[in-house]
């Protein structure tokens, strides 16, 4: 099984993306350890906003949103999902599945200790992952806010995993 990694220097001159790169290993039964990139800004003790990109985007998409939320006193976490941006990319299309993305994201959120978070999802692809599979969690108010932004949709939900 082959895993591809885009060299970090390819991301060195992105406009308005002066965030430190953070990496967290997630595990896959067939591929082994995968490196997942994320941006983390703001007060680590504050309410967490977890922003998930859609397809075919990455954390770069939220470069102007991240500082606004962090400046408002929130903790902001924006991963590049496996297969996107600075995260590792399994080489074979058969390595990607809904279950794999759920497993990778669940491990990521659990390892970071994300609890009682506000989720922001771009595109409809994130809806099942966020409402069903974050560590035993419950999402309320998914349909409470939904507005088109440019070509995609941004959806907001308040999610609380059990204690």
pLDDT of 52 reads 87
Q: Is 56 helix (H, G, I), strand (E, B) or coil?
A: coil
pLDDT of 118 reads 80
pLDDT confidence band for 123 (50 / 70 / 90) = low
Pick the range with the lowest mean pLDDT from 12-16, 28-32, 72-76: 12-16
Determine what percent of the chain is predicted with pLDDT higher than 90: 48
pLDDT of 113 reads 86
Q: What is the DSSP track for 105-117?
A: HHHHHHHHT--SE
Peptide bond into 64 cis (omega under 30): no
CB 85 within 8 A of CB 1: no
pLDDT in tens, 131-141: 444 444 555 44
Q: Which has the higher per-residue pLDDT, 34 or 159?
A: 34
Q: Stretch 16-42: mean pLDDT, rounded?
A: 95
Specify the DSSP element, H or E, that contains 69: helix 65-71
Whether this prediction's pTM lies above 0.75 is answered by: yes
CB 51 within 8 A of CB 65: yes
Return the CATH architecture of domain 3-160. 3-Layer(aba) Sandwich (3.40)
pLDDT in tens, 58-75: 999 999 999 999 999 999
pLDDT of 124 reads 53
d(CA 107, CA 120): 18
pLDDT in tens, 79-101: 999 999 999 999 999 998 878 88
């Amino acid at each position: 099984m082959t895993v591809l990694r885009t060299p970090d220097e390819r991301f060195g001159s992105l406009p308005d993306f002066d965030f430190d790169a953070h990496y967290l290993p997630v595990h896959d039964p067939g591929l082994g350890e995968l490196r997942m990139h994320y941006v983390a800004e703001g007060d680590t003790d504050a309410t967490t906003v977890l922003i998930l990109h859609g397809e075919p985007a990455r954390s770069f998409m939220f470069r102007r949103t991240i500082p606004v939320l962090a400046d408002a006193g929130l903790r902001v976490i924006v991963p590049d999902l496996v297969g996107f941006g600075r995260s590792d990319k399994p080489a074979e299309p058969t390595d990607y599945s809904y279950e794999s993305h759920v497993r990778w994201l669940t491990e990521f959120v659990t390892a970071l200790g994300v609890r009682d978070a506000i989720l922001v999802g771009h595109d409809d692809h994130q809806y099942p992952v966020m409402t069903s599979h974050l560590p035993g969690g419950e999402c309320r108010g998914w349909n409470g806010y939904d507005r088109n932004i440019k070509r995609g949709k941004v959806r907001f939900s308040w999610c609380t995993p059990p204690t």
